Each structure stands twice: as structure tokens, then as C-alpha cells.
Amino acid sequence: MTDAALDTVGAAEPRQGRSLWDDAWARLRANKAAMASLFFLAAMAIACIAGPWLVPHTYTTIYGDYVRTPPSLSAYPKADMVETALAEAVKRMRVDIKEWRQDGDRVFVTVESGREVDERNVRYLDRSDTFGDAKVESKSDDGRTMVLSASIKQQYFLLGTDNVGRDLLSRTLMAGRISLAIGLLAGVTAVVIGVIYGATAGFIGGRTDEVMMRIVDVLYSLPFIFFVIMLVVFFGRNFVLMFLAVGAVLWLDMARIVRGQALSIRRQEYIQAAEALGVTRSGILIRHVVPNLLGPVVIYMTLLVPQVIILESFLSFLGLGVQEPMTSWGVLISAGAKNIGSANWLLLFPAIFLVSTLLALNFVGDGLRDALDPRDR
């Protein structure tokens, strides 16, 4: 058949068949759980990337007046907290409170002392996390009593604060950034190594394949956690390096999957047909092998990311992962687990963020598997 003949056949049938990916996408769109999870993940990613800039507190700011404050939708300070904070600030001035009153969003406090009261003392009110814009209203003639005023700073801690008084919302979002970034980073590392290794073994085959897979078997037989701890020991606390290393451990499954896939694809008839038609080796690889390998790789990757996030959390839980003041969901959950008696929101909110992300990733992975599985089409 000449090329011209092929062209006329093509022109007679302008209708385009759906490709594997169009088909998979259509099937994925029909899967409500997977689509909802996809949107949820997108929202979570946006929240974690943009969130830390939008929340009025940074994840490292320590509010001494708000240690372990319960979550609340209304602004702090609450009515009874003003007096405590005021007493705390005035105590630092080494003077006594004679009387105080609240007028709107300003407090007026009369202080007295045995000696003359220094006007610079007013800065102690400014230093407090509760008050701002403090000034001296009036001063008695002998200087021993003084009326100070300050405005009350309204602060929102939607998820409460932690043990040292840091806003949990900004910390949780920051932690999400780290956890998601680590999940992707290690996931991609594992996939790249696994695909290259597995595809090489599967394509070369024979003795090379035998040796390469025996190496994988031996690595499998060592306890996984031993490996990870060894890597932590080697790479220290540098988390980028460490998670490249963790990714380098997780490639074993990927390598096996890709090898099996490569072996079976190599024997498919369409590969033989392509070879018979004289398609070059690289042409076969790019046009036929890679697209067919991609399905399982994509599925495995979506299931790998939650695994990595769990692993990172696990390491952080043991104190081997991300170090303070940087944080991750595992670090927060670990801190929360130590304070369940006194401040259970420290456990609950990070746990909700982590678990919902993991669930969504799993739903997307399952959805992709169903969408890309050619058997039940």
C-alpha cells in the first residue's frame, strides 16, 4: 500500500477515535468521588501554598498571652482575658493597679507606686500581645499615680494556638506545604528511579534482568524502617536530601511493576507489528511502550504520594523528620498526641487535614485505576 492510498483511507474516515487518555479522562469525570477528591486536593494545595501569606499570623510568631488558646470563631481577647493580660503587663512595670476600666476597645488603667512612675513604663503595655497604641493619659502632681490607656488588639485564632502560643491555623497550612511538597518530591524521585530501573531490566531481559531483580529482592528483605533510619543517619536533618533518599527507597515496588509491564508489552502483537513495519526502536519506545507504561505509573504515583506523606509524618513523629520551627503534619500530630489531655485541638485539626488529604489522594488513585484499566471498558 502506498502512502497516497493510506491518505485516502484516512480522508474517508474523518471521525477520530478516542485515545486512551481521552477515554480515561471521560471515565474519571464520571467518577464523583474521584472528581470531588481532585477538587478537594486542588483546594488543599491552594490553601497550603497561599494560606500562610493570608493568615494574619506567621507560623513562627509567638504570642505569650495566648498559650494553648482554644479554637474560636470570635476574636480574642475574651472579656475575662483582658484583666489577666493587664495585670501581667502592669506587673512588669513593678507598679500596682489602683483601678481599671474598659471603654469600648480601649482600656484605662490607673497605676500607683511608692516611687515616681516612669512614663517609659507605657511600653510594657505595647509589648503585650493583647494591647497596642498605649499612651499616658494623665499624671498626678507627685508622679506616683498615672493613668495609662491602650487599645485592645483583636486577634483571631480560628484553630487555637499551640503550647508556646503560635497560631495553629498558620502552622497547619505551613505544615501542609511541607508535607505535600515532600510527598511530591519523594514520589517523583521514586517513580523516576523505579521506571528507569524497571524498564531497563524488562527490556534488556535475560541475565541482566535476573541480576537486577535479585538486587531488588535482597533490598526488599531488609526491614524497611531500618533503611529509612539509616538514611536519616546519613543525611542528617537536611529534609530535601532526606526525602530524595526516602524516594530512593520507595522505588522498589515501582521497579517491579514497570518491569512486569515492560516484559508483557514487549511481547504484545502491536510491538511485533511495529517492528515488522520497520519502526525504529526509539519510535516503538516513544509511540507504543511509554504510553502503555504510563497508566500503572500514574496510578502508582497517586498511591505513592500518600505513602510518602505518612512516612514523613511517621519520621517526624519519631523526631527524625522536619525540625522546629519548620513544621509538617507529622510534627503537629506528634505535638498534639503529647497534649491530648490539655489541648485536644492540637491533635484534631492537623489530623483532620492529614487524613482528609490522604483519603482524597486514595480516591483519586482508585478512580485513576478504574479509569485506566482497559479490562472493564
Partner 1 sequence: MVMYVLRRLLTAIPTLFVVVTLAFFLIRIAPGGPFNQERGLSPEIRANIEAQFGLDDPLWLQYVNYLNNLAHGNFGPSYNLPDFTVGELFATGLPISVQLGAMALTLALLVGGMLGIVAALKQNRWEDYAVIATATAGSTIPTFVIAPIIQLVFGLIWNLLPIGGWNDGAWPNKVGPVLTLALPQIAIVARLMRGSMIEALRAHHIRTARALGLSDWSVIVKHALRGAVLPIVSYAGPAAAALLTGSVIVETIFAIPGVGRYFVEAALNRDYTLVMGTVVVIAIFTIVFNLIVDILYAVVDPRVRYD
Instruction: Copy the grid coordinates of residue 333.
Output: 500530630
Interaction with partner 1 in 318-347: which residues (CB under 8 A)? 318, 320, 330, 333-334, 336-337, 340-341, 344, 347
Interaction with partner 1 in 45-64: which residues (CB under 8 A)? none
Strands 96-103 and 106-112, how do they pair? antiparallel
Q: Judged by CB, which is closer to partner 1: 55, or 305? A: 305
DSSP one-letter string for 24-42: HHHHHHH-HHHHHHHHHHH
Residues pairing with 103 in the sheet = 106
Of 351, 347, 321, the closest CA to residue 335 belongs to 347
CA angle 225-227-229, nearest 5°?
70
Residue 376 binding partner 1, by CB under 8 A: no
Residue 225 binding partner 1, by CB under 8 A: yes
- Nearest distance from C-beta of residue 205 to partner 1, angstroms: 24
Q: Judged by CB, which is closer to partner 1: 285, or 318? A: 318
Q: Judged by CB, which is closer to partner 1: 170, or 334? A: 334
In 61-167, which residue ranges form alpha helices assigned H by DSSP?
79-92, 123-127
CA distance 293 to 148: 73
CA distances from 170 to 167, 310, 329 (A): 6, 21, 12
Q: 3-state class of 143 per DSSP?
A: coil
Residue 230 binding partner 1, by CB under 8 A: yes
**Residue from the set 221, 267, 278, 377 that interacts with partner 1 by CB under 8 A:** 221
The region of 57-65, 78-86, 154-162, 224-232 touching partner 1 under the rule CB under 8 A is 224-232
Contacting residues for 10 by C-beta, under 8 A, at least 6 apart: none
The region of 52-60, 90-98, 350-358, 367-375 touching partner 1 under the rule CB under 8 A is 350-358
CA distance 331 to 163: 13
Interaction with partner 1 in 281-310: which residues (CB under 8 A)? 306, 310
**Residue from the set 25, 40, 156, 314 that interacts with partner 1 by CB under 8 A:** 314
Which H or E run includes 103? Answer: strand 96-103
Interaction with partner 1 in 147-206: which residues (CB under 8 A)? none
The region of 64-72, 199-207, 250-258, 317-325 touching partner 1 under the rule CB under 8 A is 317-325
Q: Judged by CB, which is closer to partner 1: 1, or 218? A: 218
Residue 247 binding partner 1, by CB under 8 A: no
Which residue bears the cell 526488599? 220
CA angle 129-130-133, nearest 5°?
90
Residues near partner 1 (CB under 8 A), total:
32
Strands across the sheet containing 96-103: 96-103, 106-112, 145-152, 131-139
Site string for partner 1, 9-48 (x = CB under 8 A): ----------------------------------------
Q: Judged by CB, which is closer to partner 1: 293, or 358? A: 358
Instruction: Copy the grid coordinates of residue 253.
Output: 515496588
Q: Which residues bind partner 1 (CB under 8 A)?
A: 218, 221-223, 225-226, 229-230, 233-234, 306, 310, 313-314, 317-318, 320, 330, 333-334, 336-337, 340-341, 344, 347, 351, 354-355, 358-359, 362
